[in-house]
C-alpha cells in the first residue's frame, strides 16, 4: 500500500515526504509537475517508491490503476501564487484536480488530507472556520474556498477521513524554489547575506512600518499537525493551521538578522537599533497589492485543539532562528 503525496517536490509536500521517511515509511508515490525542474532538489535526501507526473497520476487514478493500493493521500499540490491572474488555470489546477482526488478517496474510503489556505478569509479580521468570515480577495483564495465548500457538503456522508488545513504563513526548509513566493524569512536571510540589510513594506491599512502582522507558522509544526491527523483517522473537518499568534513582519526581520549575527559572533540588536543603522529598510507598499493584501491574520485554533492536537507551536523567534541555521548550513 502506498502513501501518495501530491506536490511532493514542493515546500510542504517535500517536508511531509521527509517526515514519513523518518517514521520508516518509504512506500511513497511522489506526484508533482516538474516543469520547474529545480524542485527535484527537495527530494534528493528522501526515499520514495515512485514519481508520477500530476497529469499522469490523475489518469491512472481514473483508470483504476491505484484501486486498493493507497493507504492515504496528502494533497499538497496546487498553484500557490496569489498574484496569478489566469483564473481558468487556477480553477483547473486547484479546484477540479482536487475534486477528482476527493471523489476517488471517498469512493475507496481512503484518508484524504489536503491543503487549504488562510487566504479564504480575505481581508477580514476574524479567522474562524465559518462561512460567515470567508471572503477571498483573489482567485487563488477563491479556488481554495470553493473546494472547502464542496468538502463541507460531502463530510456528513463521508465514510472515510477528509481533513482540510487552512495554512497560514508557513516558512522553513525546502521552499527555495518558490522564488518571490518564498517566505519573508527566506528573503530576509538572502538579503542580509548579500547586502547587510533587509527590506520591509512601509505601513498600510493603519499599520506602521513593518507592523502588518501575520500568523507565521514553522513548517515542522505544519507537518506535525498533518501526521497527527494521519494517526487519528476518525478525525475529519476543516481546520486552521497556524500558531494562534499574530506577530509583525518586524519580528521576522529582527529574528533573521539576529540569528545571522549570532552565527557571525555579533551581539543581538533591537529593531530601533537596526533601523538607525540602516539594517532594516522600509520600502513603498506596492500598488499591485493594494486591496489584495492581508495586513493581519491570526488563526483561531480552537477547532484544532478540540480535535486533540495539543503540541506547542514555535514562535517566530524560535522557528526563524532554527531556519536561519539550516539555511546557513550550521550544525
Residues designated catalytic: 140, 178
DSSP 88-133: HHHIIIIIIHHHHHHHHHHHHT--EEEEEEGGGGTT-S---SSGGG
Helix and strand totals (H; E) in the chain: 11, 13
Taking only Cα atoms into account, the Rg of the chain, rounded to an integer number of angstroms, comes to 20
**Which stretches of 168-234 are assigned E, i.e. beta strand?**
169-171, 198-201, 213-214, 216-218
DSSP 191-207: HHHHHS-EEEEPP-TT-
Residues 6+ apart with CB under 8 A from 274: 253, 254, 257, 280
Provide the CA 128 distance to its chain's centre, in angstroms: 18
In contact, 250 and 271? CB cutoff 8 Å: yes
What is the residue whose three cell numbers read 483517522?
233
Amino acid at each position: 500500500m502506498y502513501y501518495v503525496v501530491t506536490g511532493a517536490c514542493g515546500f510542504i509536500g517535500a517536508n511531509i515526504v521527509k517526515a514519513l521517511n523518518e517514521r520508516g515509511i518509504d512506500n511513497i508515490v511522489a506526484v508533482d509537475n516538474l516543469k520547474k525542474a529545480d524542485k527535484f532538489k527537495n527530494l534528493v535526501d528522501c526515499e520514495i517508491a515512485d514519481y508520477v507526473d500530476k497529469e499522469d497520476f490523475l489518469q491512472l487514478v481514473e483508470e483504476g490503476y491505484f484501486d486498493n493500493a493507497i493507504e492515504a493521500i496528502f494533497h499538497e499540490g496546487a498553484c500557490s501564487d496569489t498574484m496569478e491572474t489566469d483564473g481558468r488555470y487556477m480553477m483547473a489546477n486547484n479546484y477540479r484536480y482536487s475534486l477528482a482526488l476527493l471523489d476517488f478517496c471517498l469512493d475507496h474510503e481512503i484518508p484524504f488530507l489536503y491543503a487549504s489556505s488562510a487566504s479564504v478569509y480575505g481581508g477580514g479580521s476574524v479567522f474562524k472556520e465559518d462561512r460567515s468570515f470567508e471572503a477571498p480577495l483573489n482567485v487563488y483564495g477563491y479556488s481554495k474556498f470553493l473546494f472547502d465548500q464542496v468538502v463541507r457538503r460531502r463530510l456528513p456522508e463521508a465514510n472515510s477521513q477528509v481533513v482540510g488545513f487552512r495554512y497560514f504563513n508557513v516558512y522553513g526548509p525546502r521552499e527555495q524554489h518558490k522564488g518571490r513566493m518564498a517566505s519573508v524569512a527566506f528573503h530576509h536571510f538572502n538579503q542580509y547575506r548579500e547586502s547587510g540589510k533587509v527590506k520591509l513594506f512601509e505601513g498600510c491599512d493603519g499599520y506602521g512600518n513593518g507592523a502588518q502582522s501575520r500568523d507565521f507558522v514553522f513548517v515542522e509544526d505544519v507537518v506535525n499537525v498533518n501526521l497527527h491527523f494521519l494517526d487519528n483517522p476518525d478525525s475529519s473537518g476543516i481546520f486552521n493551521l497556524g500558531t494562534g499568534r499574530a506577530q509583525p513582519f518586524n519580528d521576522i526581520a529582527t529574528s533573521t538578522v539576529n540569528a545571522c549575527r549570532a552565527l557571525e559572533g555579533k551581539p543581538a540588536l533591537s529593531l530601533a537599533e537596526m533601523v538607525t543603522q540602516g539594517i532594516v529598510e522600509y520600502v513603498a507598499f506596492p500598488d499591485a497589492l493594494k486591496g489584495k493584501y492581508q495586513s493581519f491574520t491570526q488563526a483561531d485554533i480552537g477547532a484544532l485543539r478540540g480535535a486533540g492536537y495539543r503540541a506547542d507551536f514555535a514562535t517566530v523567534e524560535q522557528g526563524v532562528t532554527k531556519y536561519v541555521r539550516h539555511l546557513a548550513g550550521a550544525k
